Amino acid sequence: MCRLGQEAEHMEALKDFASLCSSPTTVVGVVLLIILYLISLGSSSRETGKEPPGPKPLPLLGNLLQLDLQRPYKTLCQLSKKYGSVFTVYFGPKKVVVLAGYKTVKEALVSYADEFGDRDIAPIFHDLNKGHGILFSNGETWKELRRFALTTLRDFGMGKRVAEEKILEECGHLIQIFENHKGEPFNTSRPINYATSNIISSIVFGSRFEYDDPRFTNLVSRVNDSISLSGSAEIQLYNMFPRLVGWIKSRQGMLKNAMMTTRDVKDLIKKLRETLNPQICRGLVDCFLIRKQKEEDSCVKDTQFIEENLLYTVTNLFSAGTDTTAATLRWGLLLMAKYPQIQNQVQEEMARVVGSREVRVEDRKNLPYTNAVIHEIQRLGNIVPMAIPHKTSQDVTFQGYFIKEGTTVLPLLTSVLYDESEWESPHTFNPSHFLDMEGKFIKRDAFLPFSAGRRVCLGESLAKMELFLFFTSLMQRFQFTPPPGVSEDELDLTPAVGFTVPPSPHELCAVSRQ
């Protein structure tokens, strides 16, 4: 019966494919594709071990017709219910193994950290980064640059008091922008993006930017545009068939954005180099330049401290440090406007514990409900639903399945954050997920918004500090409500399309509480 079901599924897929090829001139092409497909089946059957199950792929197209290319994570979650927590799907001709559910994702990324620890670099990200930088590199490049970035970020206060002061200063600028709207509806996207971008800018470049600085606003705008485009259906198709559809508009837009960002970052680095004092590091760029000069003076061979790695490390950190935290904060404010009773409870707890003074990181331990709300925002917001794809560094047998070296692996983070066996009400906004019966904050093992293992987000502690301080500072000063004439029920929680998933464009009112 199982075999008959698979054959029926296969025939349905072939019918869908045939409908795309109704012209007589395509018959020869279809025959050739089927031959190639049969050859690929023969070669895969000779591989060692039992492979993860999955839906039958079509020749070259793979499972393309079954995927929602705008939001593929939704399709993958549905497929996991049928095929289990480890399954195979084909993105065009590319074989991908999907890991679903908390236990499976955690086991792969932590217990099998080396085997699943490499980065899969999609064609679009190879075009943009060329194997340099931190996010889209492997081997010695990744190891050395990640070690350097972690050390430098910590030296400049990531998770410490000095970073807290920078964030609180930026809170003041953001509050002023919100106050300027005088309670009228506005889109929170730009000012929040500017604020979070300034935190990573102050660490990387050694200084913040004014919100009306055209170079800064253009940098942030291009980052947001490219992250949105990178999750589009067009870019998904390009990653599947890079030689066939390199001309698509979205790819050209991302390449143009990258070219202009590279130009601006090179200019910022040039100015820092001209004013460099080896005795005083203003930020990560200074530290990199000083290390680069030392290695050149010592004639170090195969050094990773080269111009290309500096450029792409800076752009990687700027992009990641801007978008993810900003998207989470935007979800937070939207959810507060949609659930005013929860917003009121946060503000009541803050008034009782903090009062009117400036909130500090040390207050977090005395604000269990607020802390639970922030964690629930991150869980439900689910801003990186498929993580950044991994790749197996060697052949591995995992949960009884053989996975070949070099196979693309998707840790489906959305299936972890919405795991029905781990969360009482996974699809609703419920801060009680992080509270015990006495109202005390509790940690949850399945809370993995920053992923896990070797590739866990290196800015996790900074992001947590930003989320807490920005969110509580805004809650202290404003009541967030829907625009006039719009009810809480009408606020849309549909995520936008992108590599990360912020809320869809919307407006809110920030009504001053003071």
The fold of 139-382+418-512 is: Cytochrome p450 (1.10.630)
SS3 53: coil
Non-local (6+) Cβ contacts of 81 within 8 A are: none
What does the pLDDT read at residue 462?
92
Q: DSSP state, 70? A: S
Q: How far apart are CA 409 and CA 82, in angstroms?
A: 18
Q: Which letter does DSSP use for residue 110 in this model?
A: I
Distances 423 to 379, 416, 431 between C-alpha atoms, Å: 10, 9, 11
Could you report how far apart the first and last alpha carbons of the chain are, in Å? 69
Beta strand 94-99 pairing with 408-411: parallel
Instruction: Return left, alpha or beta for 485; rule: phi > 0 is left, psi -120 to 50 is alpha, else beta.
Output: left
Type of residue at 259: M
Question: Locate tokens 């760029």: which residue?
Answer: 285
Span 443-490, pLDDT tens digits? 999 999 999 999 999 889 999 999 999 999 999 999 999 999 999 999
Which residues of the chain are under the pLDDT cut of 70?
1-48, 158-160
State the pLDDT at residue 498: 85
* Residue type (1 letter), 327: A
Radius of gyration of the chain (CA): 24
Question: Which two structure tokens, joined as six digits, stand for 427?
Answer: 């699809």
CB contact at 8 A, 76 and 88? no
List the structure tokens of 448: 């993995």
Query: Residue 492 in 3-state DSSP?
Result: coil
Which burial class, exposed, middle or buried, applies to 177 when counting CB atoms under 10 A from its CB (0-12, 13-18, 19+)? middle
Phi, psi of 442 (to 5 degrees): -130, 145
H/E element holding 512?
A: strand 509-512
Distance CA 492, CA 482 (A): 11
Whole-number Å distance between alpha carbons of 500 and 187: 18
Confidence (pLDDT) at 161: 76
Query: Are 200 and 83 spatial neighbours (Cβ–Cβ below 8 Å)?
Result: no
For residue 390, what is the enclosing H or E element?
Answer: strand 390-391
Q: List, by residue range, all CATH 1.10.630.10 domains of the chain.
A: 139-382+418-512
Three-class DSSP category at 132: coil
Contact 106, 254 (CB under 8 A): no
Token couple for 289: 């330049």
- Give the predicted TM-score (pTM) of the model: 0.89
CA gap 295, 308 in Å, rounded: 15
Amino acid making up residue 4: L
Q: What are the two backbone dihedrals, phi and then psi, of residue 468, each rounded to the nearest 5 degrees?
A: -65, -50
Q: Collapsing DSSP states into helix, strand and coil, what is residue 94?
A: strand
